[in-house]
Amino acid sequence: MYEDKTLICKDCGNEFIFTQGEQEFYAEKGFTNEPQRCKDCRDARKNQSRGERTFYEATCASCGNVAKVPFQPREDRPVYCSDCFAKQNGRD
């Protein structure tokens, strides 16, 4: 029913393919407009609006290594590095 279409990105001017699968997804969701930007430009636009994330350093409550976390650590709550956090949650 659908065939791949070549579209032009309105930001960078490069060609990109609007695949059959993407067209089916758009139809399934009820979207009526075709995409106007290639994947790279869409991703760049998403990241631009998201802004820069701030990371904080904390000492891991389990191993004592430095952990960088995306939240302000509090004194009354333990902070774990990625490895120890995964072990705590059984994700080894």
| Alpha helix positions (H), the chain | 20-29, 39-50, 82-88
Q: Has residue 92 got a pLDDT over 60?
A: no
- The percent of residues above 70 in pLDDT, for the chain, comes to 95
Residue 46 sits in the same domain as residue 60: no
> Which residues lie below 8 Å from residue 17, measured CB to CB, with a gap of 6+?
4, 5, 6, 7
SS3 of residue 65 by DSSP: coil
Q: How many residues are recorded in the chain?
A: 92
Q: What is the number of other CB atoms lying within 10 angstroms of the CB of residue 84?
A: 18
Region of poorest pLDDT, from 12-16, 27-31, 47-51, 76-80: 47-51
Residue 16 sits in the same domain as residue 43: yes
Region of poorest pLDDT, from 18-22, 50-54, 64-68: 50-54
Mean pLDDT of the chain: 91
Residue 42 sits in the same domain as residue 61: no
Residue 81 sits in the same domain as residue 60: yes
Average pLDDT value for residue range 14-25 = 96
Residue 34 sits in which domain range? Answer: 5-50
Residue 62 sits in the same domain as residue 41: no
How many structural domains compose the chain?
2
